[in-house]
Amino acid sequence: MLWLLYAPNYLRPEDDPQVGRQREEYREAFAELKASIGGAHRIQAYCETQPMAAYYANLLDLDIEVMAGPGLLPPRRRVRKRILTPDGLTTVACIGFANRPKGYRLLPNAVRHVLECSRNTKFAIHGVVVGSDAEDEQPAFLALSKLGGRVSVRQDVLTQAEYQAWLEEADLLLLPYDPAVYRSRGSGVFTEARALGIPIVATAGCAFAQPAFDQGWGMRIVDYSGAGIGRAVLSALEQLQPLTMAAAAAASRTNDDLGQTLQTALDRRRAEPTSGWKTMFRGLQLRHA
């Protein structure tokens, strides 16, 4: 079973000229894998979005299915119900590993714009920059921390319990990702939002967010800038009730498809007539220039 998470370069669009050699390495490596497995076995390949499936199907000559990615939180949780904080403010949250394509550098202007226009909104911003390609963007977090009491900022690595609590306190989840890099890749935070019933604000053109846009629980960022993100958040706040209702409906339809697929594969393997189990791991080392 094969899970395809990124395009050949996790920081660049798949058609970037600098990714050319990496594409060829992928093509060669997976051709070798298919040859080594032989005709008696089959590769089951999955990814999170249709654009990613189309890209890799052409590159690797594999049938690739689209499926929601694995989340960190337990599947089949009860649909989240909004609980107002004691101050009665609506919480807009952003969370994750702050790689450059996540758009954290745009947040100070976006958050400032929303705070000036909405007195009933607060922000919870979490982003880990240590070890990312955006360590030089630390000033953005300093600027966020100076925006007043309605903005809380954390940059440490969260425990699973802290991660879940951060998400469950959110009325709206902000995903201001670069549409060029995320036009095919998925998002683990988006997977959690769908399972918890949290409406999102995400950049138009991000493949992972398209189901939320189509099903009415996502607001598009059309202008990818600080001001554009701020306007999208304000629009989402104005429509928060229908967005939340649509998100709850989407959560009620969410199943642990990946878990069921893995279980089916294991059951099929157990049913095969063998004298004993033999497990073999094949490793592919892909060079990244």
Which residue would you say has higher pLDDT here, 148 or 20? 148
Own/partner contacts of 138-142, CB < 8 Å, gap of 24 or more, are 140/104, 140/105, 140/107, 140/108, 141/104
Position 218 in a domain = yes
What domain count does the chain have? 2
Q: What is the mean pLDDT of residues 155-170?
A: 92
117 and 136 in a single domain? The answer is yes
Position 147 in a domain = yes
203 and 140 in a single domain? The answer is yes
pLDDT at 37 over 90: no
57 and 171 in a single domain? The answer is no
pLDDT at 68: 82
223 and 245 in a single domain? The answer is yes
pLDDT at 86: 59
Query: Among 9-18, 139-148, 167-176, which is the least confidently predicted range?
Result: 9-18
pLDDT at 159 over 90: yes
Q: What is the mean pLDDT of residues 1-30?
A: 83
Position 74 in a domain = no
pTM score of the predicted model: 0.83
Position 281 in a domain = no
Q: How confident is the model at residue 288 (pLDDT cuts 50, 70, 90)?
A: very low
- Mean pLDDT highest for which of 10-14, 72-76, 172-176, 267-271? 172-176
118 and 139 in a single domain? The answer is yes
168 and 30 in a single domain? The answer is no
pLDDT at 172 over 70: yes
Cα-trace Rg, the chain: 21
24 and 106 in a single domain? The answer is no
45 and 99 in a single domain? The answer is no
Position 289 in a domain = no
CA 102 to chain centre: 10
- The backbone region for 275, taken as left when phi is positive above 0, alpha when psi lies in -120 to 50, beta otherwise, is alpha
Position 287 in a domain = no
CATH classification at residue 184? 3.40.50.2000
- Mean pLDDT highest for which of 39-43, 71-75, 133-137, 150-154? 150-154
Q: What is the mean pLDDT of residues 134-163?
A: 95
173 and 248 in a single domain? The answer is yes
Which residue would you say has higher pLDDT here, 219 or 59? 219
pLDDT at 258 over 80: no
Position 82 in a domain = no
Segment 83-100, tens digit of pLDDT: 545 568 999 999 999 999
Position 278 in a domain = no
Residue range of the domain that includes 229: 90-252
Using the 8-state DSSP alphabet, how is residue 80 labeled?
P
21 and 111 in a single domain? The answer is no
97 and 234 in a single domain? The answer is yes
189 and 262 in a single domain? The answer is no
